[in-house]
Structure 1
Amino acid sequence: MKKPQWLIVGAGAIGLFWACKLQKLGYSVHLVYRSTSPKKKITLEALANEDGQQKITSSEHKIKSFLAQDLSKQYDKVLLCTKAYDLVDAFKQVSDHVTEDATIACLCNGMGAQAALQKALMPKQILWAGTTSEGVLKINENHIKHTGLGDTYFGQWLKDTETKDFPLDSFVVPNIHQRLIEKLAVNAAINPLTALFSIHNGDLLEEQFHPLLNATLTELASVFTNPKFIYAEQSKHLTLDNLTNRVNTVAQLTRLNRSSMYEDFRLQRPTENEFISGFLVENSPVELPIQSLLYNGIDFPLLSEEIKKKLLSMT
């Protein structure tokens, strides 16, 4: 019997990780890359729990990879693992090879890109938005390392459309918008601050950053608990205490890591700023002076030193 097939778009750390994961689950996988081919075999250094102990195992996975223009068949299951700003364009590059009733899933940071992707789909194509806390590091084009155990969730983006079973039912949750907002809240605190101040995640917990981090979290709580926020029903539990616990836990667990925004900002690459701080500034029912400064600091690097001084003077 022919194995069900997934098309994965995006050969970054998460895309390669899910290519290996889906193959382990018994699926056939084709992978689309943009610039650097992952070659025929992907090496995965996997992190697993065995009797309460974390253990690294290494495995090789033969995955067929293509440029988008070289695809020749039709796919009814697609997983997009791209940066938020690339999501819609990445789908459009493969859309001619996607069936009109396909299951489309995506894993990206922030909010806003999912709604834009939904608008690009055909009427019978169902979007499943996802979020993950798995830690994965890309060593080179065909070698990834699982650096932190986490959870991955998918949920149907539009609940008032036709309900369709998701092939990976063990990852399905009914409240995906809540999960996405929770991830957004953590990202909005950790990512721009670590990027602007060039610090590891754990450094945010040092005493010198306590006033700024607390002010940032207080401001975020004012959005998420505001009944006029567009996702108020999914975010009202994100009080200051709740946010503080979440951010402190993530910063501690990933204390030696650099956030993805820090890496992108440091290397002068595009960031997901528009879908994190930008989304909040645009959709908040209240003024967000700290998030506005963070947004501008990332978007306009020449202003970053001045903005850092402003942020520190506000606390």
Structure 2
Amino acid sequence: MPIETSKRLTMNIVIVGSGAMGLLFYQQLNTQADVRIKTRSNDNIYKSFTYTDLHGCNTSMQYQTADEAFMKTADIVLICVKSYDVANVVSSIKDSIAENTIIILMHNGMGVIEELNLTTSPKNPIYTLLTTQAARKLAKNHVKHTGIGINQIGPVNNHIGDREILDLLVELSTNDIGFEFCNSITLLQWKKLAINCAVNALTAINNINNGELSAAAYSKIIESITSEVIIVAELEGISLDITETLNTIKTVIKNTSMNSSSMREDVKNKRRTEVSYINGYIHNLGLRHGLLTPENTKLFEQVSNLEANYG
């Protein structure tokens, strides 16, 4: 069982996933806790990577991988993997961590929680982390921080007391990273989904950085995509304001202007994308409600066709 944080100088945190966001969070959290990264191997070894900050300054960093012994002491497991891998990761670690280890999920899109089957999943406290930060891999062992943003955490299942989680988030916060706690995380997930629907597929299909979506040529389609998301959200009992949502999308595009979206990077590298959990999620919910979502459906089909035709 993990040692109570009040009795230990630092928390033990395991990050599952050494992609761009996993390494970014490692860089931001490693001064506040003993942070290790879980790889497919259970070995305890050291690995290196280069971190480039928002100003272009490079820092050589080293992290230790999490072996089985460290997994058992983890206070937090932060899962930073693709949406389609989350359920398998949770299943694979559930017997390696203590029952009170907090699991935090960070992924794009929606539909993952349904795949977890919470009636049979671990009894651990499970939270969702939403971030508007951005990072990209310049090489296998080189990550660049490309966009500032906020980090919001909310409960999914078996959550601990609000005071306890608030104290934990304060302990993790530094000048480089801060966290907000939100009980109504589902509303925030829908707001983030609207951003992903408007940005990811368009940048992947047109092979452009996020900032290029600020051009007038994309204004109408972004509004149409967002309108469909808002209508589907309403059918799901979630109320979003069109003007506020579009302004948020514009802000994210501006703040992450130099970023190449994860979906674009997936297409460029001929990897499976998360489009099924983003535009595809809106398409499928629309079908469930008997509603056509032509713009999101078109983007879902276009990205799916790109994947199907990888050479």
- TM-score w.r.t. the length of structure 2 is 0.80
Quote the offset at 1:102 in angstroms: 1.8
Match of 1:237, SS?
coil
User: Retained in 1: the 8 A contact 2:266–2:272?
Assistant: yes
* Worse-matched range after superposition: 134-143 or 184-193: 134-143
**Paired residue type of 1:178:** L
Partner of 2:205: 196
The CA RMSD over aligned residues, in Å, is 2.8
User: Retained in 1: the 8 A contact 2:148–2:255?
Assistant: no
Quote the offset at 1:153 in angstroms: 1.0
Quote the offset at 1:294 in angstroms: 1.3
- TM-score w.r.t. the length of structure 1 is 0.79
1:174 and 2:183 matched: yes
1:282 and 1:133 mapped to 2: Cα distance? 25
Matches for 1:270-309 after TM superposition, within 5 Å: 270-284=272-286, 285=289, 286-301=291-306
1:238 and 2:237 matched: no
User: Retained in 2: the 8 A contact 1:39–1:142?
Assistant: no
Quote the offset at 1:57 in angstroms: 5.4
2:308 and 2:87 mapped to 1: Cα distance? 30
1:86 and 1:135 mapped to 2: Cα distance? 20
Match of 2:280, SS?
helix
Partner of residue 29 from structure 2, selected from 22, 42, 53:
22
* Worse-matched range after superposition: 56-65 or 289-298: 56-65
Gaps of 5+ in 2: 1-7, 171-178
2:15 and 2:307 mapped to 1: Cα distance? 37
Quote the offset at 1:118 in angstroms: 6.0
Partner of 1:90: 89
**Paired residue type of 2:81:** T
Instruction: Give a deviation string over 1:106-138, Cα, whole Å, max 9, x none.
Output: 111111113433625323x11010111112222
Residues 238 and 256 (structure 1), Cα distance of their counterparts in 2 relative to 1, 3 Å cut: same
Matches for 1:105-144 after TM superposition, within 5 Å: 105-117=104-116, 119=118, 121-123=121-123, 125-144=124-143
Partner of residue 33 from structure 1, selected from 26, 36, 39:
39
Residues 257 and 62 (structure 1), Cα distance of their counterparts in 2 relative to 1, 3 Å cut: closer
2:307 and 2:104 mapped to 1: Cα distance? 37
1:58 and 1:212 mapped to 2: Cα distance? 37
| Count of paired positions | 283
Gaps of 5+ in 1: 48-54, 305-315
Matches for 1:19-98 after TM superposition, within 5 Å: 19-25=26-32, 27-34=33-40, 39-47=46-54, 58-66=58-66, 71-73=68-70, 74=72, 75-98=74-97
Matches for 1:220-235 after TM superposition, within 5 Å: 220-224=229-233, 226=234, 228-230=235-237, 232=238
Give the fraction of aligned pairs with identical amino acids, expressed as a percent.
Answer: 26
User: Retained in 2: the 8 A contact 1:277–1:291?
Assistant: yes
User: Retained in 2: the 8 A contact 1:277–1:295?
Assistant: yes
2:142 and 2:213 mapped to 1: Cα distance? 30
**Paired residue type of 1:193:** L
User: Retained in 1: the 8 A contact 2:148–2:256?
Assistant: no
